[in-house]
Amino acid sequence: AQTVTQSQPEMSVQEAETVTLSCTYDTSENNYYLFWYKQPPSRQMILVIRQEAYKQQNATENRFSVNFQKAAKSFSLKISDSQLGDTAMYFCAFMNPPGGGSNYKLTFGKGTLLTVNP
Amino acid sequence: ETGVTQTPRHLVMGMTNKKSLKCEQHLGHNAMYWYKQSAKKPLELMFVYSLEERVENNSVPSRFSPECPNSSHLFLHLHTLQPEDSALYLCASSQGDRVPDTQYFGPGTRLTVL
């Protein structure tokens, strides 16, 4: 079974600085998908960024980028120019490759609570 | 409204009560999900529906009963719950036929069982 590990339960960063959240996973599959979701306090969980394992290029969405190291099974999230609104719980998630009726399953890590300080 | 909505946002119930959680998606998706989010634990997938057919029941106790009358609505019927069932219950939806099949979440229902 796939597992997702987020080793940092809590992190903090000063506004405008850069922070990196770590995520590792375990799988025997070669093709899969990885996601970072953000859950602000008392608010909806939203997708931040996603990465297809077959793509070598790291995904980027504005201030958010990932460092995808397939051999190391690592998928870290870098937030540049941190803003107060980035304060949230961040979840790393893994999705099985399609086929066999299992492409809908997301396996989540326990999350990292990020606090951006003014 | 847009996206995925859930009602009620907060629910307090006794162990002998019967209540229902409602989820509605306005995204034209074909798949819907129920997750349980407890403190300091990963999100736990409970049920998956694809085209109104249940395709996953992740060993959830029978005191939780899902219902999907159409592709836009999903319910979670609750009865004889235990205090350890107190959690945030999240609904999500996805297209169902795309790769990767990104899931979009609702705001959740905060359930407290007394």
Q: Which residues of B touch A52 (CB under 8 A)?
A: 100
Position B95 scores a pLDDT of 87
Mean pLDDT of chain B: 90
Question: Are A108 and B43 an interchain contact pair (Cβ–Cβ within 8 Å)?
Answer: yes
Burial class (CB in 10 A: 0-12, 13-18, 19+), A83: exposed
Chain B residues with CB under 8 Å of a chain A CB are: 3, 31, 33, 40-43, 45, 48, 50, 55-56, 90, 94, 96, 99-108
What values do phi and psi take at A68, rounded to 5?
-100, 115
- Enter the tokens of residue A20: 């990196």
User: If you ran DSSP here, which 8-state letter would residue A100 be given?
Assistant: T
Q: Would you call B17 exposed, middle or buried from its count of C-beta atoms within 10 A (0-12, 13-18, 19+)?
A: middle
Which chain B residue is nearest to residue A110, measuring alpha carbons? Answer: B42
What are the angstrom distances between the C-alpha of B70 and each of A30, B52, B103?
35, 6, 18
Q: Does B56 score more than 80 pLDDT?
A: no
The predicted-structure confidence for A84-114, as pLDDT tens digits, reads as follows 999 999 999 998 776 655 557 789 999 999 9
- Lowest mean pLDDT of A13-27, A49-63, B4-18, B92-106, name the range: B92-106
Give chain A positions within 8 Å (CB) of B27: none
State pLDDT tens for residues A36-84.
999 998 788 999 999 999 888 999 999 999 999 999 999 999 999 999 9
Contact B99 A98 (CB under 8 A): yes
Choose, out of A104, A105, A110, A112, the residue to mutate when testing the contact with B (most B CBs < 10 Å): A104
Q: What would the mean pLDDT of B24-30 be, rounded to a whole number?
A: 94
pLDDT at B53: 80
3-class secondary structure, B4: strand
Residues 6+ apart with CB under 8 A from B8: B21, B109
Q: Name the least confident of A8-22, A96-110, B59-73.
A: A96-110
Distance CA B37, CA B25 (A): 20
Chain A residue set in contact with B, beta carbons under 8 Å: 4, 9, 33, 35, 37, 43-47, 50, 52, 91, 95, 98, 101, 103-111
A53 near A109, Cβ under 8 Å?
Answer: no
Question: What local confidence, expressed as pLDDT, does residue B40 receive?
Answer: 77
Is residue B66 pLDDT above 80, yes or no? yes
Token readout for B82 is 């235990």
Measured CA to CA, the distance from residue B30 to residue B41 in angstroms comes to 28
